[in-house]
Homo-oligomer: A and B are copies of this chain.
Amino acid sequence: GFAKLDHFRQGRTGFPEVVFGEGKTVHQIINIINSLMKTNRRVLATRIDELKAHQIQAILPMLTYHPVAKALTWVHSEEPEVLYDGYVAIVCAGTSDLPVGEEAAITAEAFGCKTERIYDVGVAGIHRLFHQLERIENASATVVIAGMEGALASVVGGLISNPIVAVPTSIGYGANFQGLSALLSMLNTCSPGISVVNIDNGFGAGYYAALINQK
């Protein structure tokens, strides 16, 4: 009776299953990736720390590890790196936000999208952002990543016309409450054209921007 439901799920297979590495053993991850490699031409595993990555690569040397993003990727040798026109802009406020930025960028690339990284353009030195506006405006979609007060999302949103996926990060201290400050900022933005994913969820933002770019 549920064939129809399974059929809907098939519609998504252009986007491969992603492995969430947190809380999984090396052994489990190797098994899952192994079986994904049989039925997919692209594989992505996120939240994998350096030690685990090296143990996995010892068995599966064809995987590439991205240490800042803490992600493992693989693309079949007959599969092109890039599948779609256009690109996703990844805009990052500070150096502490880079791991989230890289998770977003590697995710979008794992799904066959080009990316442009525009890093270290937080509002404390806003002139750096202005020199990059054209690169951001010409993207299909923009991921904006910021911690502390997360004001960067509103500033970019007020200047740029493509859809923005904002990612609050847990960077900050005190009344930051592990990212709550940036999260509320982004949800209450006065600039239109901004939607939000969970705190530190670079994967979710990269995936979402890739969905838009893929159109």
Contacts and interface: CB of A to CB of B under 8 A. Distances in A.
Interface of A: 1-6, 8-9, 11-12, 14-15, 18, 23-24, 93-96, 122-127, 130-131, 133, 137, 140, 148-151, 154-155, 157-163, 165, 168, 170, 172-201, 203-205, 207-208, 211-212, 215
Nearest to A197: B195
Contacts of A203: 192
Contacts of A179: 174-175
Given A2-B4, A150-B185, A200-B174, A12 B190 contact: no
Which of A150, A175, A204 has the most chain B CB within a 10 Å cutoff?
A: A175
Nearest to A14: B161
A40 to B, nearest CB: 15
A207 to B, nearest CB: 5
Number of copies: 8
Nearest to A195: B195
Contacts of A173: 198-201
A193 B4 CA distance: 21
A98 to B, nearest CB: 10
Contact of A187 (B96, B155, B198, B211): B198
Contacts of A95: 23-24
A178 B165 CA distance: 24
Contacts of A162: 211
Given A1-B1, A93-B190, A149-B151, A8 B185 contact: no
Contacts of A198: 173-176, 187-188
A192 B123 CA distance: 11
